[in-house]
Amino acid sequence: MITAVTEGVKVSVKTEYQHDYSSPMQAHYVFTYRIAIENVGEHTVQVLRRHWFIHDANGLVREVEGEGVVGLQPVLEPGERHEYVSGCNLHASMGKMVGTYLVERLIDGKQFRIQVPEFTLVVPFQLN
């Protein structure tokens, strides 16, 4: 699991290759990733937006931006955590994702970006 902390918000990521939904002969590789967002700070925060860059080993880069995380804009009190699972597909057996969440501190309305740690997406047989 990969983890980063920005301004009292901890983001952890774990990835998994989805063999049953992938088709290597057609250069279609599906991955899921589980994200945990934890408020380790002193103030309540709300996740407003996400911004991702998805890179595959063929040099293709996709940018994804939108509201919330999987349709939600979770509010996290100090000590609370929100987990979700999402996925992406690549045209190569290896890639990576990196991004940010736009978060608002509710006590004063301050908005800031928190880092999602860069994580790799690798088909298991590539590791041998």
Q: What is the pLDDT along the chain (128 residues), one digit of tens a residue?
A: 899 999 999 999 999 999 999 999 999 999 999 999 999 999 999 999 999 999 999 999 999 999 999 999 999 999 999 999 999 999 999 999 999 999 999 999 999 999 999 999 999 876 55
- What is the CB neighbour count within 10 angstroms for residue 123? 17
What global pTM score does this model have?
Answer: 0.93
What are 69-81's pLDDT values in tens digits?
999 999 999 999 9
Rounded Cα distance between 51 and 70, Å, is 12
Rounded Cα distance between 97 and 121, Å, is 8
Contact 43, 106 (CB under 8 A): yes
What are 4-22's pLDDT values in tens digits?
999 999 999 999 999 999 9
Residue 105 corresponds to which amino acid?
R
- 98's tokens: 């990196």
Residue 1 DSSP code? -
